[in-house]
C-alpha cells in the first residue's frame, strides 16, 4: 500500500473513532416516550430519535433527540411536551374553589371546593383533578343547611315573618320569634336563629305563669294567708314603728315583679332651726321617740303656751310635735 493510501485510512479511522456511537437506546422521559422501539444498540453518530407525548401532555414543536458522539442530545431544548390544559373547572353555586395543586388549569392540577357559611357539601368528592381526558367527576354541589322544626311552647306561640308552616325545616339564617299568652312571661330567648352548624342558636323558651312570691321587706311585713300573687293583683303591706312607706302602702304583681318595689324607710327628724332660743341635745338627726328640750331667750316663750319658758318637742312620724319655736311674749 502506498503512503498516501495508508494516510487516508489513518485519517478515516481517527475521524470514526472521534464520533462514537450511542451504546444505549434513547431515554424514556417523564413527559415523552420514543415514537418506536429501540432495542438494537449501538446507534451510529447522528441517529435521530423522535418522541410522542405521554397521556396528559401535548407537543410544542418537534420533540427529538440526536446521537452526538455517543450521547443523546435534544434537537431543540425548547421543544418538549407540556401539560395538557383542561380549561376552567367550573364554579359552584353557594361556594368557591381554590387551586391546591399546580398553578394553572393543566394536567396534574387539583382544585378543592368549599361551601359558603350556612351551606354544606352534598357531593362525596369536594375536589376535581385535571386528568388526561379532562376534569374528573362533576362539579361539587352546595346546599343550604337546615335546622330541625320548632314546636310552639306551652301557653305561647311562634311569631314568624314570611310564609312558613309549623313542623317544617328551617334554612340557615331564618329567625323564629316567640310570644306568650296573657298572664304568662317568657323564660329564655325571645328569638332563635338557624345557625351555620345546623343547630338553633338557643333552646325553645318556656312560657310560665306570672306569679309573685311574698317579698321580704326590711322593717316591713305583710298580713295575709296567701303565699303567692298573680299578675295585676295588689298586695298591701305595713311598716314597723319608726318607719314609713318609701312609695305607697300597696304594690302590684307584674311580669317584671312587684311594682313599685315595697320598702320602708326610717323616719328621721332634722335638727330644728329656732330663732331666739336653742335646744338640746344637739344631733345630726333624730328618730321617732327622740325628744329635745327647747329654751327660749328672755322676752320669748315656747310657741305652745304652757306657762314655762322651757319645753320639750318629740320626733314623731309626722315630724316634731309640738313644733319647736320661740315667740315674743
Q: In terms of domains, do 261 and 215 share one?
A: yes
Domain assignment of residue 90, yes or no: no
Grid cell of 9 as nine digits: 485510512
Q: In terms of domains, do 259 and 286 share one?
A: no
| C-alpha distances out from residue 271 to 233, 311, 327, Å | 41, 16, 19
The tens place of each residue's pLDDT in the chain, 329 residues long, gives 455 555 444 444 444 456 899 999 999 888 999 999 998 999 999 999 999 999 999 988 889 999 999 999 998 888 889 999 999 999 999 999 999 999 999 999 999 999 999 999 999 999 999 999 999 999 999 999 999 988 899 999 998 755 455 567 888 989 999 999 999 999 999 999 999 889 999 999 999 999 999 999 999 999 998 999 999 999 999 999 999 999 899 999 999 999 999 999 999 999 999 888 999 999 999 999 999 999 999 988 887 755 554 688 999 988 998 889 988 88
Domain assignment of residue 300, yes or no: yes
Q: In terms of domains, do 100 and 120 share one?
A: yes
pLDDT digits (tens, 9 = 90+) for 168-227: 788 898 999 999 999 999 999 999 999 988 999 999 999 999 999 999 999 999 999 899
**What CA–CA distance (Å, rounded) separates 261 from 144?**
50
Domain assignment of residue 88, yes or no: no
Domain assignment of residue 11, yes or no: no
Whichever domain contains 105, its CATH number is 2.10.70.10
Q: Are the beta carbons of 27 and 64 closer than 8 angstroms? A: no
Domain assignment of residue 321, yes or no: yes
**Residue at a domain's end among 173, 191, 209:** 209
**Mean pLDDT, rounded, of the chain:** 88
**Residue at a domain's end among 219, 247, 266:** 266
Strand boundaries in 23-126, DSSP class E:
32-34, 48-53, 57-60, 64-68, 71-74, 80-83, 95-101, 110-115, 119-121
Range of the domain at 219: 211-266
Q: In terms of domains, do 123 and 160 share one?
A: no
Contacts of 328 (CB under 8 A, 6+ apart): 276, 299, 300
Domain tally for the chain?
A: 5
Domain assignment of residue 9, yes or no: no
Q: In terms of domains, do 221 and 203 share one?
A: no
Domain assignment of residue 118, yes or no: yes
Domain assignment of residue 12, yes or no: no
Grid cell of 115 as nine digits: 361551601
Q: In terms of domains, do 170 and 193 share one?
A: yes
Amino acid at each position: 500500500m502506498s503512503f498516501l493510501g495508508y494516510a487516508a485510512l489513518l485519517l478515516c479511522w481517527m475521524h470514526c473513532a472521534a464520533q462514537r456511537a450511542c451504546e444505549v437506546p434513547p431515554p424514556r422521559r417523564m413527559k415523552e416516550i420514543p415514537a418506536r422501539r429501540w432495542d438494537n444498540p449501538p446507534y451510529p453518530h447522528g441517529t435521530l430519535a423522535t418522541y410522542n407525548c405521554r397521556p396528559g401532555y401535548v407537543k410544542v414543536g418537534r420533540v427529538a433527540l440526536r446521537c452526538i458522539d455517543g450521547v443523546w442530545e435534544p434537537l431543540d431544548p425548547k421543544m418538549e411536551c407540556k401539560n395538557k390544559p383542561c380549561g376552567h373547572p367550573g364554579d359552584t353555586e353557594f361556594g368557591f374553589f381554590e387551586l391546591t395543586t399546580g398553578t394553572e388549569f393543566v394536567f396534574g392540577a387539583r382544585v378543592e371546593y368549599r361551601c359558603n357559611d350556612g351551606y354544606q357539601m352534598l357531593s362525596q368528592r369536594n375536589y376535581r383533578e385535571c386528568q388526561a381526558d379532562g376534569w374528573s367527576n362533576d362539579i361539587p354541589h352546595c346546599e343550604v343547611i337546615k335546622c330541625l322544626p320548632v314546636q310552639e311552647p306551652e301557653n305561647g306561640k311562634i311569631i314568624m315573618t314570611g310564609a312558613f308552616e309549623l313542623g317544617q325545616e328551617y334554612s340557615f339564617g331564618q329567625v323564629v320569634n316567640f310570644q306568650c299568652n296573657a298572664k304568662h312571661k317568657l323564660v329564655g330567648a325571645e328569638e332563635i336563629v338557624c345557625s351555620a352548624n345546623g343547630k338553633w342558636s338557643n333552646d325553645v323558651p318556656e312560657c310560665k305563669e306570672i306569679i309573685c312570691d311574698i317579698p321580704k321587706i326590711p322593717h316591713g311585713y305583710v298580713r295575709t294567708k296567701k303565699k303567692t300573687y298573680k299578675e295585676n293583683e295588689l298586695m298591701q303591706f305595713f311598716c314597723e314603728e319608726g318607719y314609713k312607706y318609701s312609695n305607697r302602702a300597696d304594690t302590684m304583681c307584674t311580669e317584671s315583679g312587684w311594682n313599685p318595689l315595697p320598702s320602708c324607710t326610717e323616719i328621721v327628724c332634722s335638727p330644728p332651726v329656732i330663732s331666739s332660743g336653742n335646744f338640746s341635745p344637739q344631733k345630726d338627726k333624730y328618730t321617732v321617740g327622740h325628744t329635745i328640750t327647747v329654751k327660749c331667750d328672755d322676752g320669748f316663750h315656747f310657741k305652745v303656751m304652757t306657762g314655762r319658758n322651757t319645753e320639750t318637742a318629740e320626733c314623731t312620724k309626722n315630724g316634731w310635735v309640738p313644733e319647736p319655736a320661740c315667740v315674743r311674749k
